[in-house]
């Protein structure tokens, strides 16, 4: 059976104030790193600035989406405003991929046309970035209260700290060994990581917006689980999709034998319990049919006999 895997950015249990401050601090760090990259001539420092900008943007989108989602559903948006975060993520990821490709181009260009670099500036900026990454991870961790989501964000910030350490060591190699080739190498590594993560997230975001079946769910397994319940003869016309990262929905036609209204309500509750317990589907629309009046498959869709 399917299992639920939550891949949020770890902001559910973090207070709005702390979340907003982490966004502000990381954006400030990105501006500082980018300026230092321009001054020192280090494209690796600029790449790390982009990496931190991505994290700040992701946290900002989560913050804004959480504020918007509190509005709840209304007549215009009956499912609520949950997909605001997905729209923002699509914009962010598209821009990030374009900039990541530019970093690859710039790094390759630096191999053939190296520019003078200021190792001291690179080390200083990377050192500041490392401190901010560690403090941000600590803030998220201290607010987590055992949340797996926030622990995931904590590990992500450790990855950021690792990138800052790489730039710091690169600055040292430039300052003391005059290894200018280290800078474009580190840039390619960071840019490659950014592109890898961005394409993966873009695929997942597109799947949700296209209302695709969640990757870790099988329609066949859902059908088999429901048809194994007492009183259900067949399940068809199954559609499963995600409203957002955390909310799944299902609609299906359920064929049953003759039963009373009380038995029907009991069976409906059993089906919903099964969907919630085994597949983490808590929003379902079920159409019950008798065996005589069930829908039949035809080319291009289904029809229901009267």
Same domain, 160 and 191: yes
Same domain, 58 and 85: yes
In this structure, what token pair is assigned to residue 189?
Answer: 């590594």
Q: Is residue 169 part of a domain?
A: yes
pLDDT classification of 278: cutoffs 50, 70, 90: very high
Domain count, the chain: 2
Q: Is residue 124 part of a domain?
A: yes
Same domain, 177 and 248: no
**Residue 76: what pLDDT?**
81
Other residues' Cβ atoms within 10 Å of the Cβ of residue 99:
18
How far is 184 from 113, CA to CA, in rounded Å? 11
Same domain, 60 and 139: yes
Q: Is residue 84 part of a domain?
A: yes
Same domain, 228 and 193: no
Extract the runs of DSSP E, i.e. beta strands, from the chain: 232-242, 248-256, 283-290, 295-298, 301-304
Mean pLDDT to the nearest integer, 217-243:
92
CATH number at 239 reads 3.30.70.1350
Same domain, 75 and 99: yes
Q: Is residue 7 part of a domain?
A: no
For residue range 111-147, list pLDDT tens digits in order.
887 777 888 888 888 888 888 888 877 776 665 554 4
The predicted model scores a pTM of 0.68
Same domain, 52 and 133: yes
Asked whether 277 and 242 are in contact (CB, 8 A), the reply is: no
The residue segments making up the domain with residue 232 are 219-304
- The Cβ-side half-sphere exposure at 112, using a 13 Å CA radius, reads 4
Asked whether 9 and 86 are in contact (CB, 8 A), the reply is: no
pLDDT classification of 51: cutoffs 50, 70, 90: confident
Percent of the chain with pLDDT over 70: 80
Distances (CA, A) of 175 to 39, 100, 141: 15, 26, 35
CATH number at 193 reads 1.20.1510.10
pLDDT classification of 298: cutoffs 50, 70, 90: very low
pLDDT classification of 5: cutoffs 50, 70, 90: very low
In this structure, what token pair is assigned to residue 215?
Answer: 């990757």
For the chain, the C-alpha Rg in angstroms (whole number) is 25
How far is 14 from 88, CA to CA, in rounded Å? 20
């Amino acid at each position: 059976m399917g299992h639920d895997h939550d891949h949020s950015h770890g902001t559910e249990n973090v207070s709005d104030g702390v979340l907003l401050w982490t966004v502000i601090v990381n954006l400030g760090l990105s501006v500082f790193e980018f300026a230092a990259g321009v001054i020192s001539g280090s494209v690796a420092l600029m790449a790390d600035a982009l990496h931190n900008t991505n994290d700040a943007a992701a946290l900002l989108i989560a913050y804004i989406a959480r504020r918007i989602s509190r509005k709840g559903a209304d007549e215009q948006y009956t499912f609520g405003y949950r997909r605001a975060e997905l729209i923002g993520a699509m914009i962010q990821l598209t821009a990030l991929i374009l900039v990541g490709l530019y970093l690859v181009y710039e790094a390759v260009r630096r191999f053939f046309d190296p520019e003078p670099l200021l190792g001291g500036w690179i080390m200083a900026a990377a050192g500041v970035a490392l401190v901010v990454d560690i403090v941000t991870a600590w803030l998220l961790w201290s607010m987590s209260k055992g949340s797996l989501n926030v622990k995931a964000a904590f590990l992500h910030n450790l990855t950021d700290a690792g990138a800052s350490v790489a730039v710091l060591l690169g600055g040292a190699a430039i300052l003391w060994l005059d290894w200018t080739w280290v800078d474009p190498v580190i840039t390619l590594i960071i840019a490659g990581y950014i592109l890898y993560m961005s394409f993966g997230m873009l695929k997942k975001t597109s799947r949700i917006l296209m209302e695709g079946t969640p990757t870790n769910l099988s329609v066949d397994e859902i059908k088999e689980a429901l048809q194994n319940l007492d009183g259900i003869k067949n399940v068809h016309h199954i559609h499963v999709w995600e409203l957002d990262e955390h909310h799944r929905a299902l609609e299906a036609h359920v064929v049953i034998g003759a039963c009373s209204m009380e038995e029907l309500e009991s069976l409906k509750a059993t089906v919903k319990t099964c969907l919630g317990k085994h597949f983490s589907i808590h929003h379902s629309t079920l159409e019950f049919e008798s065996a005589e009046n069930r829908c039949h498959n035809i080319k291009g869709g289904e029809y229901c006999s009267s």
